[in-house]
Structure 1
Amino acid sequence: MGSSARPVIEQALADNGVETRTAVSVAKISASGVSLSSGEHLAAATVVWCAGMRANSLTGQLPVTRDRLGRVEVDDYLRVVGVPAVFAAGDVALAEVDDEHVSVMSCQHGRPMGRYAGYNVISDLFGEPLLAFRIPWYVTVLDLGPAGAVYTEGWDREVVSRGAEAKATKQMINTRRIYPPLTRNRADLLAAAAPELQARP
């Protein structure tokens, strides 16, 4: 999360009674707990392992190179490089979001990628111009439980809000922004599918 957000996160963890270990790795998991590379043993009846993300293995069916996360490279229009009749979006696609950065595996990039890919598939079928996918901004909003949340902007993740204010933004994202309108109104649904709708929260 970067140096700006780290103190906020560390304080939230401490306030919630969460102990952390840094600069160590898991050496062994056994019936009695977890052994760390430092030699420390953490007794535990249950171990929850979070080992990162991977693209769906379906990407392996395409005759293309994949990145270390299993994603396929796509061009500006979300066509798979080397297989232009196939479009990819979301966690399986490695897309440039601006001139210096590629997509991350999150709803922030996955949602608009899906809208652009859908738009471009239809445009391609009807011989219409395709839209280039670009998102010129980047934010991260991390929920910190009872401590609220932390909201950062930019790829260097500078903190712009924290606590209850950031929590309200996170709740809006999780309860309204990532879902289609619930009005059952066709015009509302089609408007929400507009590829260039995405704006900073």
Structure 2
Amino acid sequence: MTGPVTTKRPHVVVVGGGFGGLAAVRKLKNADVDITLIDRHTYNTFQPLLYQVATASLNPGDITWFLRAVRAKQDNVRFVKGTVVAMDHDQQSVLLDGNITVRYDYLVVAVGVTANFFGIEGAAEYSMPLYRRTQALALRDRMFANLEDAAINGQNRDLRVVVVGGGATGVEMAGALAEMRNLDLPTTYPELDRDRVHITLVEMAPHVLGPFDARLRDYARKALEKREIDLRLGTAVKEVRPDGVLVESNGTEEFLEAGIVVWASGVTAHSVVGEWGLPQGRGGRIEIDDHQRVRGFRNVFAIGDIAVNPDTPLPQLAQPALQGGKYVATVIKNEVEGKPDPKPFKYRDKGTMATIGRASAIAEVKGLPKLKGFIAWAIWVAVHIASLLDNRNRFATMTNLSIKFLLWRSHSAIVGETPYVIAHEPKVLDANASRGGKKAAKKAAKKAAKKATSDERPDPR
């Protein structure tokens, strides 16, 4: 395709193949329209489980879905791989890289958001966000590269991973890293001193998981502390450097040396959105009305994380995107059929949840009491597996998570390529030391497993 796209039926262009974009496309299956789905990737990524890829528990293919497969059950849609570089709303066209023009009768913007570094010096250059598959793989490979280097060259200094942000992504990432250190490292890396491997979680607020009930937040904090996570609440990041993070708490600055800094602190719109001629509000989000239309436009809609109704802002979660996508499809279908608009969009909050680790989670689910511990964790697992887009993804994810969570003696990891390890000085490996290390590792792993199990005993309160 090198020129403009023209169709006889109304042409709906959906930019973004995430939760909201796919929901809109699928809802338009039986509508008298032609649909073009545009995304810079050929796959949809299930972002809530990216941290499981980063911590070597899932394959990237477990949580990605081929966007062209949408045609298997829907022949009024086609996929175009491309990045939007400009929009001309007078001509009703979208310009993609490669000088490709796509014309539309209806435009749905569902491009999602990206990491917000809040102007903190060094954060964009030296920290590692976790919003794309490539970022999760880069983080995983960096982590194992650091471990292999330390295993050969010794721990002449402590190893530390700093996770910035106490929301769901930060808490889940820190919890998974701590369990890897506590349960797996004593067996897989007997050369390392587990007590010199640190997981630090930095959060500016006085608590983690701010949107949740205070009792659930308190449970999450205790669960993190029991996993021996270095929890820094009420602490601000002042600067990220190649070798760590400068933080400040109560007016006192401290430098935390770290080999990896994971950035899970806030989101913002992609900078290119500002060039699309659409009104933007806080965080660069596109302003919409109560019918999900972009303010000032009749045939342009925005849904999901990139959209905000200033009068009734919604959380940037999967459910608002899914519900918004289905609603916009109904608005378009009604207009094509000459029917009036449906009632204004009303979000139905089904609840939120977050996991801290094996058999430990919190959940606020509509119609249920506030949940914590194993029951919340079981619901979290079931919901996330069911939310994947294909049976292949569900089966693969269920299999890999079952191996991780149910087979305590399994210490396997899904790994990729890491750089060659070069000894800093000539080294001779001692087999006897290795046998001693295995014995110590077995003892440490048994102790860690016992501690992790005791963490999930019911709170007597």
* TM-score > 0.5 by shorter chain: yes
Alignment correspondent of 1:169: 379
Give the whole-Å Cα distance in 1 for the aligned partners of 2:240 and 2:388.
38
Alignment CA distance shift 1:51-1:169 (3 Å): same
Alignment correspondent of 1:199: none
Alignment CA distance shift 1:85-1:152 (3 Å): same
Alignment CA distance shift 1:55-1:28 (3 Å): closer
Larger helix share, 1 or 2: 2
- State whether residues 286 and 307 of structure 2, in contact with CA within 8 Å, keep that contact through their aligned partners in structure 1: yes
Q: What is the aligned counterpart of 1:130 among 341, 352, 362?
A: 341
Alignment correspondent of 2:353: 141
Give the whole-Å Cα distance in 1 for the aligned partners of 2:381 and 2:359.
14
Q: What is the aligned counterpart of 1:55 among 269, 276, 280?
A: 269
- State whether residues 79 and 86 of structure 1, in contact with CA within 8 Å, keep that contact through their aligned partners in structure 2: yes
Larger strand share, 1 or 2: 2
Alignment CA distance shift 1:28-1:58 (3 Å): closer
> Which runs of 4 or more aligned residues in structure 1 lie more than 4 Å from their structure 2 counterparts after TM superposition?
none
Report the residue type matching 1:148 in the other structure.
Answer: S
Query: Which structure 1 segments of 5+ residues have no match?
Result: 183-201
Alignment correspondent of 1:24: 235
- State whether residues 5 and 159 of structure 1, in contact with CA within 8 Å, keep that contact through their aligned partners in structure 2: no
Alignment correspondent of 1:14: 225
- Once the two structures are superposed, residues 14-45 of structure 1 have per-residue CA deviations (whole angstroms, 9 ceiling, x without a partner) of 12221111222112222332121232221211
- Once the two structures are superposed, residues 129-174 of structure 1 have per-residue CA deviations (whole angstroms, 9 ceiling, x without a partner) of 33331124352201111252101258xxx97101111112212221
Alignment correspondent of 2:313: 102
Q: Percent identity?
A: 26
Q: CA deviation at 1:58?
A: 5.2
Q: Secondary structure at the match of 1:111?
A: helix
Report the residue type matching 1:143 in the other structure.
Answer: T
Report the residue type matching 1:93 in the other structure.
Answer: A
1:118 aligns with 2:329: yes
Q: How many residues align?
A: 176
Give the whole-Å Cα distance in 2 for the aligned partners of 1:43 and 1:52.
23
Query: Which structure 2 segments of 5+ residues have no match?
Result: 1-209, 392-461
Q: CA deviation at 1:179?
A: 3.7
TM-score normalised to the size of structure 2?
Answer: 0.35
Alignment CA distance shift 1:168-1:147 (3 Å): closer
Could you tell which deviates more after superposition, 77-86 or 60-69?
Answer: 60-69
Q: Secondary structure at the match of 2:334?
A: helix
Q: Secondary structure at the match of 2:253?
A: coil
Give the whole-Å Cα distance in 2 for the aligned partners of 1:80 and 1:31.
41
Alignment correspondent of 2:279: 65
Aligned-residue CA RMSD (Å): 2.6
Alignment CA distance shift 1:63-1:8 (3 Å): same
TM-score normalised to the size of structure 1?
Answer: 0.75
- State whether residues 59 and 92 of structure 1, in contact with CA within 8 Å, keep that contact through their aligned partners in structure 2: no
Q: Secondary structure at the match of 2:232?
A: coil
Report the residue type matching 2:372 in the other structure.
Answer: R
Report the residue type matching 1:25 in the other structure.
Answer: A
- State whether residues 78 and 88 of structure 1, in contact with CA within 8 Å, keep that contact through their aligned partners in structure 2: yes
Give the whole-Å Cα distance in 2 for the aligned partners of 1:73 and 1:111.
18
